[in-house]
Amino acid sequence: MSETYLVTGGNGYIGSHMCRLLAQHGATVHVVDNHAASPAEPVHGYGTFHRMDIASAECGELIAWLRPTAVFHFAALANVPQCQADPLRAYRDNVAGSLALFQHCVEAGVRRVVLSSSCAVLGEPEVELLDESLPLRPASVYGHTKAMVEQMLGDLCSRGSLDGLVLRYFNAAGAAEDGSLAENHRPETHLIPRLIDAHLAGEQSTFCIYGDDYDTPDGTCVRDYIHVEDLARAHLLAERWLVGKEGMHTFHLGSGKGYSVREVIEVFEKVVGARLPSRVGPRRPGDVARLVASVERARAELGFEAKWSLEDAIRHALASRLAMATTAG
């Protein structure tokens, strides 16, 4: 592969795994990251880093100069509670930022944009498996911002200004198999890293399950966990699939299997070989009972199938966290 790709948010969790995969395929990678939602220093060496905001004039100049084959757009405020608490920042970073980025692409004649979106745009549809035909009914500020960005991209693609892919993730989990990249959000809100925190904190700590009175078999929320390396691979397949196509195309990226919070804890205990004391706390505002992807379209069109299991994701997340702690210490 001799293409040049621009990865916005390439210092973040999913973006960094994407950079690694592109570099492994021989692509030239450029990262645009303002480090507002990711560590202050680059977390990997897979590409040239440009510390700048996607909305800045410099970013427009960079895109015009690079003329990348495609832009993978991960940069966003992706922390759901933070978006809820600070809608101004959420709309500025996610919506205004994306609008400026799309404008940079149109002005530079860069056609292909791969948008990192989320099942949060769907709200809580009452069907078992969520497919791409469902209407957008976001139930959180974060979901609203992602739905708006999808809409903007869709309108630009309908007009023929861009060719777009909307990739809606379910729950990204795990880390690079070799432990070289990790999930590192501050503050951390996600289930698996918080289980690791509780496990590493030892006996002083009891893990809090946010509610067990949902309409699910064991009362705790059901989610579809997809390994971050599977996610990155799906992006590459989708970007290649887009070649020669026009318009905007949407894919759901998940494993197609749902696990309740209690089931995730059971798998976690199996991986670490120890019990994790837990208690049930109140529901977390904005959580919905069940979100599980229909993987049919991604399988049929992209030939994508998740390779790693939830157990693998937990094992890799734990190994990378321990590797990170060793490096830091």
Q: What is the bridge-based pairing of β-strands 222-223 and 259-260?
A: antiparallel
Residue 14 and residue 74: Cα distance in Å, rounded? 8
- 107: Cα separation from own chain's centroid: 27
Which of 140, 89, 93 minimizes the C-alpha distance to 116? Answer: 93
Nearer to ligand UFG by C-beta: 34 or 220? 220
Catalytic one of 142, 169, 214, 225: 142
Nearer to ligand UFG by C-beta: 68 or 143? 143
**Does 118 interact with ligand UFG (rule: CB under 6 A)?**
yes
**Does 171 interact with ligand UFG (rule: CB under 6 A)?**
yes
**Does 327 interact with ligand UFG (rule: CB under 6 A)?**
no
Secondary element (H or E) of residue 30: strand 28-33
Secondary element (H or E) of residue 208: strand 207-210
Q: Which residue in the shown chain puts its C-beta closest to ligand UFG?
A: 221
- Which residues inside 18-77 make contact with ligand UFG, applying CB under 6 A? none
Is 142 tagged catalytic?
A: yes
Nearer to ligand UFG by C-beta: 50 or 146? 146
Q: Which stretch binds ligand UFG (CB under 6 A): 25-33, 97-105, 117-125, 307-315?
A: 117-125
Provide the minimum distance between the beta carbon of 182 and ligand UFG in the complex, in angstroms, as a whole number.
15
Nearer to ligand UFG by C-beta: 221 or 292? 221
- Which residues inside 132-161 make contact with ligand UFG, applying CB under 6 A? 142
Alpha-carbon radius of gyration of the chain: 19
Burial class (CB in 10 A: 0-12, 13-18, 19+), 327: exposed
Q: Locate 313 and state its tokens.
A: 């994701």
Which SS3 state, helix, strand or coil, does residue 102 take?
helix
**Does 116 interact with ligand UFG (rule: CB under 6 A)?**
no
Nearer to ligand UFG by C-beta: 93 or 287? 287
Residue 278 and residue 274: Cα distance in Å, rounded? 13
DSSP-assigned letter for residue 130:
B
- Applying CB under 6 A, among 35, 51, 92, 190 the residue interacting with ligand UFG is 190
- The answer to whether 15 and 8 have CB atoms below 8 angstroms apart is yes
Provide the minimum distance between the beta carbon of 184 and ligand UFG in the complex, in angstroms, as a whole number.
14
Q: Which stretch binds ligand UFG (CB under 6 A): 34-42, 160-168, 184-192, 245-253?
A: 184-192
Residue 290 and residue 120: Cα distance in Å, rounded? 11
Residue 37 and residue 97: Cα distance in Å, rounded? 14
Binding site for ligand UFG (CB under 6 A): 78, 80, 118-120, 142, 171, 189-191, 194, 208-210, 221, 223, 261, 284, 287, 291
For the annotated catalytic residues, the residue numbers are 142
